[in-house]
Amino acid sequence: MSEFHAENPLPQSADDLNAQYIACPHCDSLYVRPRLSENEKLECTRCHSIIMTNKVRSSERTLAAMIGALILYGVAVSFPFLSMERSGLENKISVIDCISVLWTNQMYLLSIALALLIVVLPVSRILLLVQVVGTIRVNGRAGWRNARALRWAQFLEPWSMAEIFMIGVIVSLVKVGKMANITVGPSFIALTVLIVLLTWTSTAMCRSTTWAALERKQ
Amino acid sequence: MRTAREYGLAVCQSCGWLVQDAPARCDRCGRKVHFRNPASLQKVWAYWLAGVIAYIPGNTYPIMITKSVAGENAATIIGGVLTLIHHQSYLVAGVVFIASIVIPVSKFLVIAWLALSIQRGQATGEHTRLHAYEATEFIGRWSMVDVFVVAALAALIQLGALVSIQPGIGIQAFALSVIFTMLSANAFDARLIWDREQDKENDDDNL
Ligand SMILES: [Zn+2]
Ligand SMILES: [Zn+2]
């Protein structure tokens, strides 16, 4: 890796410019863009952020994980994840029940927020990634509309809270475990595997390679 | 070390594309690209204040109301933690305490410290500040845990007259506080940490 030097005149076209240089998004340092070999990383010498990666088989691994995640999400939302039994009374709950109970208690905003954070946004993010990575996998490249999709998928990442919901479920399990008989449903297992898959994807997916495979709007 | 801005280049914060005539739309992903996010600190402070304000009713109003044959019991966040300690569920008490008290409060402090350090033009501790910022962005969303706990319990504990749990109004304020604080951290432009007085000539769209 080498730093940018003032003697080098900047190329006029945006394509040449971006083919030759890269900047750190966290501290703005400019570098001559290196050729990375497999699994090599470019680390910023000033702030030590990772600027660029080159992970092997990023698109097929991401695609496989995302299709798996989509199926698991279907299971997680359609089946009950916990059921409790006490004194002959039984209650089974699904993810949807957690959202609707807020609605019936007049907490409309919170109910909508929950629907977004644990169902709508995570599923949209997975669908967007399937579209982008799937197109790249099939065609080798993808058109500019996919760049918009990838940008939205990145935007949705902090707002997709499936894994936090899961920790919440475990905490509530411990809270009521002593006062009633609690059984975990199929959706509980689906959610657990889903969390593992989503966490794994964030390490398997290579942002630099994915962005580089996207064409620009002319 | 030379920065992209010194050469009239702006980096797209979504995809890393270098743009020559900022402020302009990124011609790869379509996002608006600036040398530095415009009015970054004003947005940080506005969301920060909203987050702090919402945090107060989030802690003073009950987040969960338990109705049973023994009567009605409204619990606040702290009350819930104390109950867990009373029942010797120390691990879960710890998780809830960290997610609902330690993380939100330290997030308020870290964001305020970062914003003030930029406003004072502090030129030291860049690495510490960047790490603090990244930790804040990474951990902040985990405060939502208590909101999900309340939703799950309210849905699960519905055994008619025997025992039932209702969500309390405090949880709505608490969720709002977490969302505002996430927006506040999002609005912060990490590049400001590294900026120095002498290289601000190209600063046409900053602050
Ligand atoms: Zn850097
Ligand atoms: Zn872009």
How confident is the model over B115-137, as pLDDT tens digits? 999 999 888 889 999 999 999 99
Of A105, A102, A98, A133, the C-alpha closest to A119 is: A98
Average pLDDT, chain B: 90
Shared domain check, B43 and B29: no
Residue B114 neighbours by CB distance under 10 Å: 23
What is the model's pLDDT at position B200? Answer: 52
Q: How many domains does chain A have?
A: 2
Same domain? For A62 and A119 the reply is yes
CB pair distance less than 8 Å for A171 and B92: yes
CA–CA separation, A71 and A162 (whole Å):
14
Query: B6 to chain A: which residues are within 8 Å by CB?
Result: 30
Residue B1 is encoded by which pair of tokens? Answer: 């070390």
Residues in chain A with pLDDT < 50? none
| pLDDT, position A129 | 94
Q: How many domains does chain B contain in total?
A: 2
pLDDT at residue A8 in the model: 65
Nearest CA in chain B to A142: B28
Residues 9-68 of B with CB under 8 A from A: 9, 11, 13-20, 27-31
**Residue among A20, A21, A27, A87 with most chain B CBs within 10 A, to mutate:** A27
Q: Is residue B4 one of the residues assigned to a domain?
A: yes
Residue whose token pair is 């039984």: A90
Q: Are residues B92 and B178 in the same domain?
A: yes
Count CB neighbours of B42 within 10 A: 12
Q: Say whether B18 and A93 touch across the interface (CB within 8 A).
A: no
Report which of residues B81 and A215 the model is more confident about: B81
How far away, in angstroms, is A20 Cα from ligand 1 center? Answer: 17
On whether any CB of chain A is under 8 Å from the CB of B175, the answer is yes
Residue B205 included in any domain: no
Give CA–CA dist B62/B169, Å, rounded.
6
Residue A9 lies in a domain: no
Q: Is B7 on the interface with A (CB under 8 A)?
A: yes
What pLDDT is recorded for position A122? 95
Q: Which residues of A touch B196 (CB under 8 A)?
A: none
The pLDDT of residue B205 is: 45
Q: Side by side, which strands form the sheet with A89-93?
A: A89-93, A82-86, A181-184
Mean pLDDT over residues B30-49, rounded?
94
Cβ proximity of A158 and B137 under 8 Å: yes
How many CB atoms are located within 10 Å of the residue B89 CB? 19
CA distance B197 to chain A (A): 15
Which value does ipTM take for this structure?
A: 0.89
Closest CB to A168 among B130, B148, B163:
B148
Residue A7 lies inside a defined structural domain of this protein: no
Residues of B in contact with A47 (CB under 8 A): 126-127, 130, 194
Residues B105 and B4 in one domain: no
**How far away, in angstroms, is B120 Cα from ligand 1 center?**
21
Distance to chain A for B151, nearest Cα, Å: 5
In a domain, A8, yes or no: no
Rounded CA separation A179/A181 (Å): 7
- Provide long-range contacts, Cβ within 8 A and 24+ apart, for A2-11: A2/A31, A2/A32, A2/A34, A3/A29, A3/A30, A3/A31, A3/A32, A3/A45, A3/B1, A3/B2, A4/A30, A4/A31, A4/A32, A4/B2, A4/B7, A5/B2, A6/B2, A8/A32, A10/B7, A10/B9, A10/B20
Contact A132, A148 (CB under 8 A): no
Give the amino acid at A206.
C
Check whether residue A37 and residue A67 sit in a common domain.
no
Provide the domain limits for residue A27.
14-53
DSSP letters along B21-61, please? SSSEE-TTT--EE-SS-TTHHHHHHHHHHHHHHHHHHHHHS
Chain B residues closer than 8 Å to A214 by CB: 28-29
pTM of the full structure: 0.90
Cβ neighbours of A91 in B, within 8 Å: 156-159
- Which range (B30-34, B57-61, B121-125) has the least confidence? B121-125
B98 or A177, higher pLDDT: B98
A194 and A101 within one domain: yes
**pLDDT on residue A2:** 56
Same domain, B31 and B89: no
